[in-house]
Amino acid sequence: MKKTADRKKQLGKIFVISAPSGTGKTTLADILLRSRRGFVRSVSYTTRRPRGNERNGRDYQFISRADFLKKINKSFFAEWAKVYTNYYGTSKEFLGCALKSGKNVMLVIDTQGGFQIHRIFPRSVLIFIAPPSFKELKRRLAGRGTEKSGSMAKRLAKARKEIRESRQYDHVVINDNLKEASFQLKKIVTSYLK
């Protein structure tokens, strides 16, 4: 009898990456996903409109507010949150299927969603990407050119709150240098996969 037949398939692990807007969390998550096998990225559902070259199914599952609220009522989401005027959520079914198949799942979500995931999946790993300074975060947000002054103030207030909440995360990576932050993120993830 083969040894592999006697072994139970190992469950995958959830890695949550959270950070304020403009910190580089999506870029770092994409670098990690390209460098590691056995990982999938959870594509969040959202009621917000696509930006720039975002595509449905690749960047987000773009759905109407009415459809999102129906999914909440049907307990479709493992986590969901209202962020500013839009809703975001993660499919419970997607997470379950990915984990059972042995895949590791990367979620790029805010701290509110991260805490919800950790309550349901206590073995999940929470990683916070922090800016080198609040001044630098403000500069990066302004440099994107997508924020109006009212929107910028809301994002900065939310960033202050998330940075305080990062104390409850398992790891904090400061993204002052993309290459170094990417190295630190890979090192953290690898330590959980041995």
List the single range of 62-76, 117-131, 135-149, 163-177 with lowest mean pLDDT: 135-149
- Which residues, other chains included, contact 141 with Cβ-Cβ below 8 Å and sequence gap of 6+? 21, 22, 147, 152, 155, 156
Helices and strands (DSSP H and E) totals, the chain? 8, 9
Stated pTM of the model? 0.87
Size (the chain), residues? 194
- The answer to whether 89 touches 16, Cβ cutoff 8 Å, is no
> Can you name the residues that pair with 126 across neighbouring β-strands?
16
Of the CATH numbers 3.30.230.10, 3.40.720.10, 2.40.50.100, 3.40.50.300, which one belongs to the domain with range 3-192? 3.40.50.300
Alpha-carbon torsion (134, 43, 85, 166), positive or negative:
negative
Amino acid 4: pLDDT: 46
Domain ranges of the chain: 3-192
- 132-147 tens-digit pLDDT: 998 888 888 877 665 5
Please tell me whether residue 87 adopts helix, strand or coil conformation: strand
Give residue 72's pLDDT.
97
- Range 113-141 average pLDDT: 92
